[in-house]
Structure 1
Amino acid sequence: MKQHKNKFILLLSMAAVIACNNAEKQTEEKQTAGAKLPSVEAYKQTIDGKATSLYILKNKNNMQAAITNYGGRLVSLLVPDTDNNMVDVVVGFDSVQQFKASTEPYFGATIGRYGNRIAKGKFTLDGKEYTLFTNNGPNTLHGGKKGFQDVVWDAQQVGDSSLVLTYLSKDMEEGYPGNLSVKVTYTVTANNELKIDYEATTDKKTVVNLTNHAFYNLNGQGSGTINKHTLWINADLYTPVDSTLIPLGKNQFVANTPFDFRTPTAIGLRVDADDVQLKNGKGYDHNFELNKPTGAGLNHAATVTGDKTNIVMDVFTQEPGLQFYGGNFMQSKNTIKGGGKDDFRTAFCLETQHFPDSPNQPSFPSTVLEPGQQYKTSSVYKFSVKK
């Protein structure tokens, strides 16, 4: 009788263990349901004699980031929605070859040496004029003909959650003076943040303005328009531009303009307003001068909420500016992850930065870096769900 009792207890214990394992498996499946990361194998290539790969970062909440060292690009970012399904909120491609062949060169990329535009591809330091390649009409955009988005970075993954990328931009590369040593660190934190730390040093006086050019859709990449996302930007001033998107020289108040996002507003609510600045940018493609923080630490720059998923992205930065780009030049020319197209205004960018054309605009914060100084700045993209 005692043996039967012990056997019955053992069977009950085994059943309990199986039930517990099944529950854990179901929970894990639910947490990882939805979007998946691209294949690592599709990112193994050789470009300019250097090996490319895909690096996967994750935290204990199942948030995952996929980053390739080709262009220091954020390829995918999986975050949970209100039902705890994973949503890929970053537009990208299934392979490194697709990035290389894309008509949109900046998807997810680390941008340098100089993010945004420099007028007529020229600037002067200590009386010497430097000439850059003009790749955006009469101006230089995002570093020039072969900016940081087209180089293969050296990569070192640190544990599950951090990736360090390094690159030496040699003296006069793309016309910029100085050997510039650059380090960019991506980290997925326990608080569902993607943290990006930028560092650089030079051996000759130069200009530097680094940023990340991820294209976001908080409803999931390939899910349609971003015009119903709500956007808040912590800025009383923005930077008006001419028809070639070069600053006119003086920032203006957002009040009573389509650029007033000081209260959360649908991105598309005023995008087609009769406004010369919107016509210049074919929509939003403008720098916002962030209000200065009252305390120490990172400045809360912006908040975006997806209208379908209720995913919230908060942007924090040490930079003085934020470029809001509404996907106005997306033309359905590229096949993105999952087989969809990069359709008009189906993604947005929030690029933390110094102001456009600062080397030619004395009233703007300086982007000059000198030998012995260290360029060091951080930005954070934090994800949560609307309650």
Structure 2
Amino acid sequence: MTIKLSNWGATWLSCQLPVAGQNREVLLGCKNLEQYAQQKAYLGATIGRYANRIANATIEINGINYSLSANQGTNQLHGGKFGFDKQLWHIQSQSDKQVIFTLISPDGDQGFPGELKVEVTYKLTDDNQVILSFNAITTKTTPVNLTNHAYFNLDGETSKDILNHTLQVNADFYLPVDHSGIPNSDLVSVNQYDMDLRRPKFIAERFLESPIRQITGGYDHAYLLNKSQSIAAKLISADKKVKMNVKTTLPALQIYTGNFLKHTPNRHNGQYNNFAGIALEAQFLPDSPHHPDWPQPSCYLEPQQTYHHQICYQFDIK
């Protein structure tokens, strides 16, 4: 298998697998840099300083209020108007198996306190694993939540959609959200409102019947992972020829079925439709700065600490 990367947004551009004697592109992507800069779906990008949403684009640290860059109504999404996905990263090193990208986010970047030095490593192994390692240090206390926003279609990115993929997520709880994607409840059992993915399930199964999924037009929810399980999630193509396991050190997984991908440019002078790909974004729970009581490690990084997390995508090819 081969992957392609770019220092624009430390972006994962391509993921080609040898399936039945042919190369199968399983990652959604654009044709050129101009399209990547224009699209709003965060295709394959490294997300930061804080992935997902922060309500009202404000945080409070040690009694000080910080106004953040709002880019989804009054809220902040994926780090603000000029998040890490829109930055030109430095290529610290590269080889046939590994690329290390670095970025310095200055104090006050998108409203966040502290200078944050970030390092993202992509490693491709001989057994078809793509391992992403995230490291960061800060000069001031700041929330940090780094992830990758790759969209997968294991049948091939030119196939219609991912609704006939099989998905399994090892999580007992999820977060309900409002129309803006802001959590409007504490964690809820997956047994409520047909959100249980602990057993393999066709994504299309009762897809828009759940009132919770009706609010967001499909899955767009954070699941709190059951850390007694080594695998966070498993995705299987409709033709059963490709399986992908997701492993991570992060506490939660945002499942997003590409509900608003329509009009996003693709590699073939066309556009993707809704549900063309699925994002499995390992991260802290959304809006965590406002919910320190949630059962996960703190999302705040202190000056004496190092942020270190991994996401591993392992492909099994028939």
Q: Which residue pairs with 2:309 in the alignment?
A: 377
Distance in structure 2 (CA, Å) of the matches to 1:309 and 1:289: 27
Q: Which residue pairs with 2:165 in the alignment?
A: 229
Partner residue of 1:200 out of 129, 132, 136:
136
Q: Which residue pairs with 2:33 in the alignment?
A: 96
What pairs with 1:289-308 in structure 2 (closer than 5 Å)? 289-293=224-228, 299-308=230-239
Partner residue of 1:285 out of 215, 220, 241:
220
Tell me the SS of whatever aligns to 1:339: coil
Matched, 1:330 2:265: no
The sequence identity of aligned pairs, in percent, is 38
Distance in structure 1 (CA, Å) of the matches to 2:71 and 2:274: 22
Distance in structure 2 (CA, Å) of the matches to 1:259 and 1:89: 26
More strand by share: 2
Distance in structure 2 (CA, Å) of the matches to 1:280 and 1:134: 22
Unaligned runs of 5+ in 2: none
- Matched letter for residue 381 of structure 1: Y
- Matched letter for residue 350 of structure 1: L
Q: Which residue pairs with 1:49 in the alignment?
A: none
Q: Which residue pairs with 1:17 in the alignment?
A: none
What pairs with 1:254-265 in structure 2 (closer than 5 Å)? 254-265=190-201
Q: Which residue pairs with 2:24 in the alignment?
A: 87
Offset, 1:339: 3.2
Offset, 1:247: 1.3
Distance in structure 1 (CA, Å) of the matches to 2:163 and 2:137: 39
What pairs with 1:1-387 in structure 2 (closer than 5 Å)? 63-81=1-19, 83-102=20-39, 104-273=40-209, 275-293=210-228, 299-308=230-239, 310-331=241-262, 333-364=263-294, 365=296, 366-385=298-317
More helix by share: 1
Distance in structure 1 (CA, Å) of the matches to 2:240 and 2:271: 20
Distance in structure 2 (CA, Å) of the matches to 1:205 and 1:175: 13
Query: 1:243-279: per-residue Cα shift (whole Å, max 9, x none)?
Result: 3211124111112533111111111112110x33212
Unaligned runs of 5+ in 1: 1-62
Distance in structure 2 (CA, Å) of the matches to 1:177 and 1:105: 26
Distance in structure 2 (CA, Å) of the matches to 1:169 and 1:335: 29
Offset, 1:340: 3.7
* Cα 1:257–1:370 shift into 2, 3 Å: same
Distance in structure 2 (CA, Å) of the matches to 1:230 and 1:360: 34
Supply the RMSD in Å over aligned alpha carbons.
1.3
Distance in structure 1 (CA, Å) of the matches to 2:159 and 2:24: 10
Query: 1:318-357: per-residue Cα shift (whole Å, max 9, x none)?
Result: 01100000010111x2331133421111111000001000
Offset, 1:101: 2.1
* 1:105 and 1:149 in contact (8 A); partners too: no
Tell me the SS of whatever aligns to 2:235: strand
